[in-house]
Amino acid sequence: MAHCFGDFRRFRFNFPQRIAAAFLALFLAQGLWLILRQPLSAHEQQYIHCGRVSWTGATADQVCNVLGDGRLDKLLAGFSFTNNATLAQLLLRLPFLAAGCLLGGGLWWVTRRLFGDLGGYTALALYCFSPAILTASTMPNPEILSALGLYGGVYTAIGVAHAMQGPRRKWRPRIVLLTLSFAIAASAHLVALALTLLLALGFMLWVAEGRRKPVAPVLAAATCGALVLRWVAAGFSWECFRPSPFSFTISREPFQQFFFLRSMLGLSLAMVVALALYARFRRSRYFGNTTPLLCALICLVLTLWINGAAGAPWLWAVPFLLTFLAGVFADAYESARPRLALAVGAGLVLAQLAVCAASIF
């Protein structure tokens, strides 16, 4: 798995990469459609205000505090300095659409390396036609950034753990990427950083068998670097380390909204099929499939418990759910009945495509 984030000089834009680029181009086109057809809301006007406050170094007011403890989302929103409504929409929302595209590219990179082309296509197609992801990628919010930092941080940490079996010179680029992933999570939500760190620690200790001694120093260095970058993004203000208040109360509403809304029909059906296959076939129950399932379950448990400005962990779970789906369906594609598995996978993608089209047009 270390080569998931390996030498980018070996990258080739061949047929699989073109297919992935086509899916991401469709995602980008849908995002631009949503960006240009929706006027700025009062919530987005608050983001523009807080972004300008962040760039000028002024003390955050009550409006900014209501938006949570994220720093990166407010800084990105501060770029929209214009009186032109259309240009303001683009400047405000495009950075978040770029984050959504980066997350989709990272999802495909990981799933293809782990599970092959068909597994990668399945995950990326469901991602690109997910109304929840499109919504989060076309408005200012810290959740898409948290999902990007969390997903990138976990899989980069696993890559670092694998690299520890080799020479130290191969550690450095991965540790830099790990620090950047932690920084994105930290600059979006301190809760997301804490979760990323805990998951990374657990998986690195599991993977780096016989080389566990460097795990703690590597994670400490990445975490310190991430917190420094958050501090810099906050204009060297120590207030950035004071998270927004939240409460732990059990609520099923976010969980129900995610899994039982019509807009998540394809993904919900795919999860039911994938869980059935995972329980039925022993070959699917291995580290590559179990890791994203555990991460998704932890995020969904947080969805049930966390209320307030600490974030929306159900969105953080989506990339891990799609990685799990990719692994299980890739196993099914190589089973004794591959045509049936391919038909089911294609049908689920088409169902999600139809739901997505009905949601945005």
Give the tens place of pLDDT for each residue, 48-91. Answer: 877 777 776 666 665 576 566 667 887 887 777 666 777 888 88
Q: Is pLDDT of 6 > 60?
A: no
Q: Nearest CA to 137 among 98, 163, 169, 164?
A: 98
User: What is the mean pLDDT of the segment spanning 319-337?
Assistant: 94
The whole-number pLDDT of residue 170 equals 77
Q: What is the mean pLDDT of the chain?
A: 84
pTM of structure:
0.90
The whole-number pLDDT of residue 309 equals 43
User: What is the mean pLDDT of the segment spanning 256-278?
Assistant: 75
Question: CA 100, CA 87: separation in Å to the nearest integer?
Answer: 20
Q: Is pLDDT of 113 > 90?
A: yes
| Other residues' Cβ atoms within 10 Å of the Cβ of residue 289 | 24
The whole-number pLDDT of residue 299 equals 87
The whole-number pLDDT of residue 251 equals 54
Secondary structure (H, E, C), the chain: CHHHHCCHHHCCCCHHHHHHHHHHHHHHHHHHHHHHHCCCCHHHHHHHHHHHHHHHCCCCCHHHHHCCCCCHHHHHHCCCCCCCHHHHHHHHHHHHHHHHHHHHHHHHHHHHHHHHHHHHHHHHHHHHCCHHHHHHCCCCCCHHHHHHHHHHHHHHHHHHHHHCCCCHHHHHHHHHHHHHHHHHHHHHCHHHHHHHHHHHHHHHHHHCCCCCCCHHHHHHHHHHHHHHHHHHHCCCCHHHHCCCCEEECCCCHHHHHHHHCHHHHHHHHHHHHHHHHHHHCHHHCCHHHHHHHHHHHHHHHHHHHEEECCCCHHHHHHHHHHHHHHHHHHHHHCCCCHHHHHHHHHHHHHHHHHHHHHHHC
Confidence of residue 253 (pLDDT cuts 50, 70, 90): low
Question: CA 160, CA 174: separation in Å to the nearest integer?
Answer: 6
**175 versus 252: which is more confidently predicted?**
175
Q: How many domains does the chain have?
A: 1
Q: Is pLDDT of 4 > 50?
A: no
| Other residues' Cβ atoms within 10 Å of the Cβ of residue 167 | 8
Q: Is pLDDT of 256 > 80?
A: no
- Contacts of residue 336, defined as CB under 8 A and 6 or more positions apart, other chains included, come to none
Q: Is pLDDT of 1 > 50?
A: no
Provide the domain limits for residue 211.
2-360
| Per-residue model confidence as pLDDT tens digits over 168-211 | 777 888 999 999 999 999 988 888 899 999 999 999 999 988 88
- Contacts of residue 161, defined as CB under 8 A and 6 or more positions apart, other chains included, come to 2, 203, 204, 206, 207, 208, 215
